[in-house]
Amino acid sequence: MSVRASLIRRLALLERRCGRMEVPKFILICNRIEPERRCLLAPGEHIVTDWLSDVDGLVVGSERITSEPDDHGKQCDPVITWSHAISWFGGP
């Protein structure tokens, strides 16, 4: 078996086990924590980003402070619209 075929087989196995990972195309973070407040975090506090919207890979998020160690921010379900399948061409 060639190295390429082996890598493709191993990648397919990982995708079956873990699911395919989609990376956002663009992330916009609104409501950021001010730098002065970032410096004053209490022990055990950390900043997380909640995803408020995920449409066609364009994610809008908001930062917040939490003291829950298992809180890594909330993620919403992605929404795929028909626009991802359209290509707009200019010219004649």
Tens-place pLDDT, residues 22-67 = 678 889 999 999 999 999 999 999 999 999 988 888 899 999 999 9
Please give the share of the chain, as a percent, with pLDDT higher than 90. Answer: 42
pLDDT above 80 (res 5): yes
| Residue type at 77 in one-letter notation | D
Q: How far apart are CA 85 and CA 67, in angstroms?
A: 41
84 pLDDT band, cuts 50/70/90, is low
State the pTM of this model: 0.61
**DSSP-derived secondary structure letter, 43:** T
**Maximum distance among all alpha carbons in the chain?**
62
21 pLDDT band, cuts 50/70/90, is low
- DSSP helix/strand/coil, 3: helix
Burial code (b: 16+ CB inside 10 Å, e: under 16) for 28-62 equals eeeeeeeeeeeeeeeeeeeeebbbbebebeebbbb
Domains in the chain: boundaries: 23-79
The token pair at 72 is 């890594």
Q: What is the pLDDT of residue 18?
A: 67
- DSSP helix/strand/coil, 35: helix
- DSSP helix/strand/coil, 75: coil
Q: Average the pLDDT over 71-86 and give the result.
A: 76
